[in-house]
Amino acid sequence: MSRDVPDRIKVLWFLPTHGDSRYLGTTEGGRAVDLPYLTQVAKAADTLGYYGVLLPTGRACEDSWVIASALAPLTERLRFLVAVRPGLQSPTLAARMTATLDRISNGRLLINVVTGGDPLENKGDGIFLSHAERYEVTQEFLQIYKRVLSGETVEHHGKHFQIEDGRLLFPPVQTPYPPLYFGGSSEAGSVVAAQEIDKYLTWGEPPADVGRKLDAVRELADKAGRKLSFGIRLHVIARETTEQAWAAADSLISRLDDATIASAQKVFARMDSVGQARMSALHGGSRDKLEIAPNLWAGVGLVRGGAGTALVGDPDTIAERIDEYRRLGIDTFILSGYPHLEEAYRFGELVLPRLPTDHPVKSAGSSVNTGPFGETIAGDHRPKSLGPKSLASAS
């Protein structure tokens, strides 16, 4: 099957509403994730030129809708990828929330459709549905949700929803509605994506595995007479040299003990998410073989659910690995790193200007007041740029 390779890509960052740290799996280096800190991350992403930010969802997180509503007035261009939860929300209520946030952000809302993959957490939210039933609910929800947002008055009598006179009084800014993102690695998830969604998301598996997954979804979409775009969710550890990047990766899990890893893997094993099972299989709960493809490291997934892999390397290497995924047909990259404020700057300054983005990014030196970049020397003059020969003579 032919793949449409995008010329340009979108790059989003992540708001860590479930916590942030210098080290995984420990309170050491932990950072309070309050509104002032999230504001710093969001403003950094906005200033650096990221297309948007993903806000996670679930009981481990602050509520994504409330946080996005608080941050939208504090940012200028940044878009907010916020979750709707079929089964937790009615489709008409979700449509009103969507239209409102799209309006108050002046069209900066993106929608992440999350079915939920942890049966225990689902039960805590009052959802006692099987994996197959959750995807049934998701598809029926989306069919109503999209019609209401498109301006229709909906009468619906289905298996899971009964709607009479479902409609909006205040439409969204984006027409017919904000773009719908969705990730689901199961067969049921792929069918929903192919028939209902705008952008299909995958977690960061090795490129060959990602290619096969996307081809399967493309085929389903083709049968449904539709075309999708594709995105990927990854962590990044970008440093000026590859050696520094791998040292940072080792440091990130340096406080982890085997008991913490085993406890986390036990939680992941209870889930009925096919995507989570695929993530866990990449490392098997072991530190032994964490580089699962060139510069693709599975260490994050030892204790973090969901996206568990990171691109590790110097700027040129990471840019090439991103381009490898682009050549598979991926046009959207949703990235994160630890701590999220510092890594937003590292990636934003070292790698982002090297990428073929379809949105403007901040380039080095673009906001200098006078003279070259750098702190004024002795309060008297601006620094000079040192090339390789000058550096050698200075040493």
User: Per-domain residue ranges for the chain?
Assistant: 10-362
Q: Average pLDDT of 349-375?
A: 77
Q: Pick the residue with more confidence: 122 or 46?
A: 46
Is the Cα dihedral 201, 274, 193, 18 positive or negative? Answer: negative
What the block records as the tokens of 209 is 């595995």
What pLDDT is attached to residue 116?
Answer: 80
Q: Quick one: pLDDT band at residue 378, thresholds 50, 70, 90?
A: low
User: Residue 330 pairs with which residues in a beta bridge?
Assistant: 230
Instruction: Give the model's pLDDT for residue 392.
Output: 45
pTM of model > 0.85: yes
pLDDT at 5: 96
Distance from C-alpha of 202 to C-alpha of 193, rounded to nearest angstrom: 11
Calpha distance 15→336 (Å, rounded): 8
Cis peptide preceding 339, ω within 30 of 0: yes
Q: Return the pLDDT at 130.
A: 87
pLDDT in tens, 236-286: 999 999 999 999 999 999 999 888 888 888 888 888 788 888 888 888 888
Q: How confident is the model at residue 393 (pLDDT cuts 50, 70, 90)?
A: very low
Percentage of the chain surpassing pLDDT 90? 72
| Strand blocks (E) in the chain | 10-14, 20-21, 30-31, 52-54, 79-84, 109-113, 154-157, 162-166, 180-182, 199-203, 229-238, 291-293, 296-297, 310-313, 330-336
Q: Which residues contact 188 (CB under 8 A, 6 or more apart)?
A: 131, 132, 135
Q: Look at residue 369 in the predicted model and tell me its pLDDT.
A: 52
CATH class of residue range 10-362? alpha beta
Q: Please answer whether residues 276 and 201 qualify as being in contact, where contact means their C-beta atoms are separated by less than 8 angstroms.
A: no
Phi first, then psi: what are they for 331, rounded to 5°? -115, 0
The token pair that represents 234 in the structure block? 């990854």
Q: What does the block give as tokens for 388?
A: 């390789």
The CA distance from 99 to 83, in Å, is: 14
Give the residues across from 166 on adjacent strands: 154
Per the DSSP assignment, residues forming a β-bridge with 111 are 82, 180
Pairing of strands 291-293, 296-297: antiparallel
